[in-house]
Amino acid sequence: MAAEITVTRTKTGLGHPETAALVKKAISAALEAEGIEGTCYIDVTLTDDDTIREINRENRNVDRATDVLSFPLNELTPGHFDPEKCERDYDRGGVYLGDMVINIPQCDRQGEEYGHGYRREVSYLAVHSTLHLLGYDHVDEGEDKRLMRKREDIIMEKLKIGR
């Protein structure tokens, strides 16, 4: 699998120096764990409370900041990746999976609140969002949420970033 992961920041100096590397590593681990083969593209935006609140309001009609937003380009079945159902880049060869937006100040706060620190939190949110791009969801407390949480735990264990 050759993932092309683009990480941009909405403001200079936002986050920690290792953030882009942590995000790319977490996304790559999630794609590998899900058996994604071939080239795929994911765009990641690192932002702050105000900007993610605006994006959340514009795209989901929810007027509040959140930790991460995922914008899948495809309708996929969790655990059954089918590249034929994906938007393609025919010039470069590969599939677009979508975009994610990560709120860096919220990562700091949640990492502290949950007692596992920034590195784990930003990695977890990147894994979580990647699974959304691959069709996983957690709208209710049912089987879908349990499946997604199980996959997250397996991937985080592989990353060796414990709580």
pLDDT of residue 76: 94
What tokens were used for 144? Answer: 């879908």
| pTM more than 0.75 | yes
Query: Tens digits of per-residue pLDDT, 102-119?
Result: 999 999 999 999 989 999
Query: Tens digits of per-residue pLDDT, 36-93?
Result: 988 999 999 999 999 999 999 999 999 999 999 999 999 999 999 999 999 998 888 8
User: Quick one: CA torsion of 5, 6, 8, 14, rounded to 10 degrees?
Assistant: 30
Of 75, 51, 66, 147, residue with least CA distance to 110? 66
Question: The dihedral of CA 104, 110, 116, 117: what is its sign?
Answer: positive
Domain boundaries, the chain: 2-159
Q: What percent of the chain has pLDDT over 90?
A: 80
- Name the superfamily (CATH) of residues 2-159: Metalloproteases ("zincins"), catalytic domain (3.40.390.30)
Of 13, 27, 21, 12, residue with least CA distance to 68? 27
The whole-chain average pLDDT of the chain stands at 93
pLDDT of residue 163: 64
pLDDT of residue 54: 97
